[in-house]
């Protein structure tokens, strides 16, 4: 496993396991498989409805708590200072943990303009030691700049959609300037269209790796944290086997060249779902 050091000095696995859209009843067994493969970072959210399953997997794993890095998120409808504190307590109860390693605001939902107060609640949780690190998800530069101006603690990560067809170069540059890690979700592109791209398949043949492994390696060498999700045991193993090869500068340049700026999910400034 490869680790990064966040801007508050905390170490985080650079490769984690996402559980978006995994049914809660299946989550414990799937996360257990991920633990056995070697994953130690799990990314969930209250909106996923499977925090309980993640908590069961943690309890059953027998792994020391300090070896694990658990992320969850406050949902849009729970934003606001007091509401966020209440939502956090519900997440802790579902996960059955004494602390969370990383707590994120799921979306800025700017229409309701609660994300600054929500972030201040995260700061309170951080000062109380109930959260080891705090950050955001789906934040554009303008949202981050408000956090910088109105809050005290810099986010450690900004978890956003990122894949070779949507590379987020400008946001990556901005976050890098402010010592904030980009954490890539949907890293293989929803629908797996990019897995069939000629550049990706040719690099897979060159390195004797799968297209998914090439893309995950690209994320790592872009200095991003990456959280692939799979319910298939063989793919959970495959996605973890990305530390035994490197892409050359030429390889990386080829992947840069296939960017289409195609976002699959919602634009953060327009997503105001509750």
Residues with catalytic roles: 48
140 neighbors 271 (Cβ within 8 angstroms): no
**CB contact at 8 A, 4 and 14:** yes
Pairing of strands 157-161, 131-137: parallel
d(CA 226, CA 177): 19
**What are the structure tokens assigned to 62, written together?**
């027998």
Q: Distance from CA of residue 184 to its chain's centroid?
A: 6
Rounded Cα distance between 254 and 200, Å, is 9
Question: DSSP 3-state helix, strand, coil percentages of the chain (rounded to 5)?
Answer: 45, 15, 40
Selection from 69, 150, 59 nearest residue 104 by Cα = 69
249, burial (CB in 10 Å: exposed 0-12, middle 13-18, buried 19+)? exposed
């Amino acid at each position: 496993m490869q680790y990064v050091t966040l801007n508050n000095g905390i170490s985080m696995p650079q490769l984690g396991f996402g559980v978006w859209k995994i049914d809660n009843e299946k989550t414990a067994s799937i996360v257990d498989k991920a633990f056995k493969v070697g994953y130690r970072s799990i990314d969930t959210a209250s909106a996923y409805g499977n925090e309980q399953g993640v908590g069961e997997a943690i309890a059953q794993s027998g792994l020391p708590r300090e070896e694990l890095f658990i992320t969850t998120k406050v949902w849009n409808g729970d934003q606001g200072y007091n509401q966020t504190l209440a939502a956090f307590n519900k997440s802790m109860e579902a996960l059955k943990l004494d602390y969370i390693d990383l707590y994120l605001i799921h979306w800025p939902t700017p229409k309701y303009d609660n994300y600054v107060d929500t972030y201040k609640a995260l700061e309170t949780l951080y000062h109380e030691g109930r959260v080891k690190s705090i950050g955001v998800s789906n934040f554009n530069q303008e949202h981050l700049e408000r956090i910088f101006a109105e809050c005290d603690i810099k986010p450690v990560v900004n978890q956003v959609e990122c894949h070779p067809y949507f590379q987020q170069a400008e946001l990556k540059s901005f976050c890098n300037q402010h010592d904030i890690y980009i954490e890539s979700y949907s890293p293989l592109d929803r629908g797996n269209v990019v897995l069939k791209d000629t550049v990706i398949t040719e690099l897979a043949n060159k390195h004797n790796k799968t297209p998914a492994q090439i893309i995950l390696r690209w994320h790592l060498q872009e200095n991003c944290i990456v959280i692939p999700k799979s319910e298939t045991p063989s793919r959970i193993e495959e996605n973890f086997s990305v530390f035994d090869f490197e892409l050359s500068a030429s390889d990386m340049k080829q992947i840069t060249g296939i960017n289409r700026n195609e976002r699959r999910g919602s634009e953060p400034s327009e997503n105001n779902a509750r």
